[in-house]
Structure 1
Amino acid sequence: MNNSKAPQWGRVIGIIMIVFGSLGVFYQMYKILIPSIFSMQRNMMNDFDRMGRNNPGNRVFENMQEVWFMSDTQMTVMTIGGILGILLCVFYIVGAAKLLKKGEQNLKIGKMVLFIFIGYNVIFCSFLFAGGSIFARMIAIYAIIGLVADIVFTIIIVSNNKEEYNLNYAADSDDLLDDI
């Protein structure tokens, strides 16, 4: 038996976290691109508004901007959050890879990564829900899914036998048969 092999629950969580972290990189890039899309959309709506100044239908455009569009502050925070998120996703993937090998330090790093990402997602979701933009709230749904997954992963890690990550841990005979 390979002594550096992490317990099965740790390997499963690590692999799932690697997949989520990889998907998270794309989500973070999306958050970086959103402000430029909104800026372009805002310019188009302003052009439509100028064409129909005397048209009573231009209230529709004003109402759409209030509901769908994000403020400049929200767009700036979205960009900064996306850049920070990419860095955190790389850290998340590294922490997940650490869970694949035995070592008490590896387990601590895996837990630390989860706690950091839980905090990041709570702060980011709070920010997105604080604004009035429906689109910002739709973006927050992905962060909520990540938040729930990270909480579940943390519960699994905390509730399982952490001694299995100790390099000197000797598995009982049932565990030995699982690895054959």
Structure 2
Amino acid sequence: MPATANHSRAPGGRARSVELQGKKAQASAVKPAQRVIKKYPNRRLYDTNTSAYITLAQVKQLVLDSEPFVVRDAKSNDDITRSILLQIILEEEAGGAPMFSEAALANIIRFYGHAMQGFMGTSLERNVQAFTDLQAKLAEQSKNFTPEMWAQFGNMQNPLMQGVMGSYLEQSKTLFEQMQEQMQKQTEQMFGAFGIKR
């Protein structure tokens, strides 16, 4: 009789095990793991998800598709994602339609090693995010645009466009004011260190 009881429990236990495995598979299907790309000494990039070599253009496409990924050095396993992203930016800037002027690049370079380097990075990041949010709002709102609305949009008479641009400009103004305030505090601290009052 005990043997029968154990026998009757086993199928139920197996069923529960299969059910749990199914739930785990569903959970992993909902939230995909971060894609890992390995960079080899010969400069080739290997996508471990597809088990195939990929190009820098394909990595750029992953960025455009907002796919989470990390690039690791195949030998040391160091995270080199930033250097690959910078390489993509370099190729884009060397192409036909660069985003940054020489003056803008020179100004960015001047901030390296500067007391305001951290603030400059944060400010740029916030501005890019604000612009990205603006673009997403415009894309969402423009789904229902009529030809007349597009004409108004082109003339900047659309109240929606004025509101969105106003919001972006307000964010930019706030960031600029924060930067000025930070610079003023640092200047006062510097003068204070030398016993000079302003």
TM bucket normalised to smaller: under 0.3
**Structure showing the higher helix proportion among its residues:** 1
* TM score, norm. by length of structure 1: 0.27
**Structure showing the higher strand proportion among its residues:** 2
